[in-house]
Amino acid sequence: MLTLFLHCVQTITLPRAQDFSRRRKLPLAHLIVVLIALAASGRDAGGATKLVTFFTVARRSGLWPGEHSPHRSALTKARAKLPWQVLAILLRRVIVLAYEVFPPRAEYQWCGLSVFAFDGSIYTLPATAAMRQAFDPQSGLTSPGRGHYPQCVVMTAYDVLRRLPVGRTICALQAGDERAQAQSLLPLLPPTSVSLFDRGFPSYGFLHDLHHHAYRYVMRCPATSTFPAVEAFARSGRAETYLWLTPSDTFKRHLTPTQRRTRASLRLRAIRLAAPDGTVSGLLTNLVDLRRFPRAAIIAL
């Protein structure tokens, strides 16, 4: 694994060829490992404390036997030389390798399909000029109502059964449309897969795109303030049904005449979902084969 990682790091192209060319306490490979470890260690301790702990463990375990923790300022200087896009490149390469070596076991599939979940989160970033300009130009104490640190929106596509993030988008707060970010990640998925979306995703436009590209999906939808057909289904008390979703007049206002003609009603399956506290919502899906995808199996998923 170490050999593969070092080989992968050596293929990274840096903006300046002289960066990381001299022997330092934090060469490029070490820096990336340290950054990943610090990011994964939570917020229960300060950066300096976590840095000392990490190097102590690395030394005692024999990973880096002769290394000692650098000063936090050395980490800050080294990190400034590393473009944030490098970690995105590494993620893509790691995912390709992971799918090559993962054994083809049934436990990694549901009803013969790989399962991917999508979700977005807001992350706080280092307050560097580059980060602020790229993701959150309005951040800073000079902007009323805004914090000092810039923030971004991260959308992740996650292989649920292999427990593996397969893709991510990082965008500015102002461009943080979860549906658009998820659409950009869908082409990364294999054809034999089903995608899971929470209740922030339902919209006619997004569902139309899923149907147009034949992506399988299961999407949780609230029972109120949503599509009229879903609200009627929730009031009916039925366990499941087939229904048609039509584009609203508000949605059609933004379409060209040609697009309006091609945006037909969508036929999909709706399943009643009752939470332990009694809250009712619906599961919308295009998994219409009742034998292959029983209602109970979809609810369990």
Beta strands in the chain, from DSSP E residues, in sequence order = 114-124, 151-159, 164-172, 193-197, 216-222, 240-245, 266-274, 280-285
At 199-238, the pLDDT tens digits run: 889 999 899 999 989 999 999 999 989 999 999 999 998 9
Query: Is 95 a domain residue?
Result: no
Q: Is 244 exposed, middle or buried (0-12, 13-18, 19+ CB in 10 A)?
A: exposed
- One domain for residues 109 and 79: no
Statement: the pTM of the whole predicted model exceeds 0.75: yes
- One domain for residues 154 and 228: yes
- One domain for residues 166 and 268: yes
Query: Is 88 a domain residue?
Result: no
For residue 135, what pLDDT band results from cuts at 50, 70 and 90? confident
- One domain for residues 110 and 255: yes
Query: Is 244 a domain residue?
Result: yes
Domain tally for the chain?
2
Of 111 and 139, more confident: 111
Query: Is 232 a domain residue?
Result: yes
In the predicted structure, residue 21 carries a pLDDT above the cut 70: no
- One domain for residues 110 and 74: no
- One domain for residues 109 and 229: yes
- One domain for residues 130 and 75: no
Query: Is 93 a domain residue?
Result: no
Query: Is 99 a domain residue?
Result: no
In the predicted structure, residue 6 carries a pLDDT above the cut 80: no
Structure tokens at 128: 């560097």
- One domain for residues 52 and 110: no
